[in-house]
Amino acid sequence: MERVSYELIKREKYTGARLGILHTPHGDVELPNFMPVATQGTVKTLSPKDLEEIGVQIIVSNTYHLHLRPGEDLIEKAGGLHRFMGFKGAILTDSGGYQIYSLADLRTLTENKIVFKSHVDGAPITFTPEKVVEIQAKLGSDIAMILDWPTPYPSTYKDARFHMDLTTQWANYAKSFRDSYLNNVSLFAIVQGGTYEDLRIEHAKMLVEMNFDGYAIGGLALGEPKIERDNILEKVTPFLPEEKTRYLMGVGYPDDILSAVIMGVDLFDCVLPTRNARTGTVFTTQGELTIRNAAYKEDFTPLDPECTCYTCRNFSRSYLRHLFNAGEILGPRLATLHSLHFFITLMESIRNAIRGDYLIEFREDFLKKYSSSKVVDNPG
Which one is catalytic: 50, 266, 269, 304?
Answer: 269
Task: Please report whether residue 318 would count as binding its own copies according to CB under 8 A.
Answer: yes
The side-by-side arrangement of strands in the sheet containing 114-117 is 105-109, 114-117, 124-127
Of 54, 128, 130, 66, the closest CA to residue 92 belongs to 66
Stretch that binds its own copies, among 5-13, 126-134, 150-158, 318-326 (CB under 8 A): 318-326
Report if residue 279 touches its own copies, rule: CB under 8 A: no
Active site residue 94: yes
Can 50 be counted among the known catalytic residues?
no
- Please, what is the Cα angle at 285 between 279 and 291, to 5 degrees? 25
Other beta carbons within 10 angstroms of residue 347's beta carbon come to 22
Shortest Cβ distance from residue 364 to its own copies (Å)? Answer: 36
Q: Is 108 helix (H, G, I), strand (E, B) or coil?
A: strand
Q: Is residue 118 a contact residue for its own copies (CB under 8 A)? A: no
Among 13, 69, 205, 355, binds its own copies (CB under 8 A): 69
CA atoms within 13 A on the CB side of 344: 24
**HSE of 335, CA atoms in CB hemisphere, 13 A:** 30
Q: Which of 94, 142, 256, 304 is catalytic?
A: 94
- Note whether 132 and 113 are within 8 A (CB): no
Nearest distance, CB of residue 97 and its own copies, angstroms: 21
* Alpha helix positions (H), the chain: 48-54, 63-68, 72-77, 81-85, 97-103, 129-139, 157-181, 197-210, 226-236, 254-262, 272-278, 310-314, 317-325, 330-355, 359-370, 373-377
Interface stretch with its own copies, choices 7-15, 81-89, 188-196, 366-374 (CB under 8 A): 81-89
Q: Does residue 48 bind its own copies (CB under 8 A)?
A: yes
> Which of 333, 338, 351, 363 touches its own copies by CB under 8 A?
333
79 binds its own copies (CB under 8 A): yes
For residues 157 and 200, the answer to whether their CB atoms sit within 8 Å is: no
Minimum distance, C-beta of residue 74 to its own copies, in the bound complex (Å): 6
Determine if 46 is a binding residue for its own copies (CB under 8 A): yes
Work out whether 241 is an interface residue with its own copies (CB under 8 A). no
Kindly tell me the burial class for residue 67, based on how many C-beta atoms sit within 10 Å of its own C-beta (0-12, 13-18, 19 or more). Answer: buried
Q: Of these, 128, 316, 349, 373, which contacts its own copies (CB under 8 A)? A: 316
Q: Alpha-carbon distance 244 to 267, whole Å?
A: 11
Examine residue 297 and tell whether it contacts its own copies (CB under 8 A).
yes
Q: Name which of 163 and 333 has its Cβ closer to its own copies.
A: 333
The residues that touch its own copies, with contacts defined as CB under 8 A, are: 40-42, 44-49, 65, 69-70, 74, 77-79, 84-86, 297-298, 300, 310, 314-316, 318-319, 321-323, 325-326, 328-330, 332-334
Any idea which residues carry the catalytic annotation?
94, 269
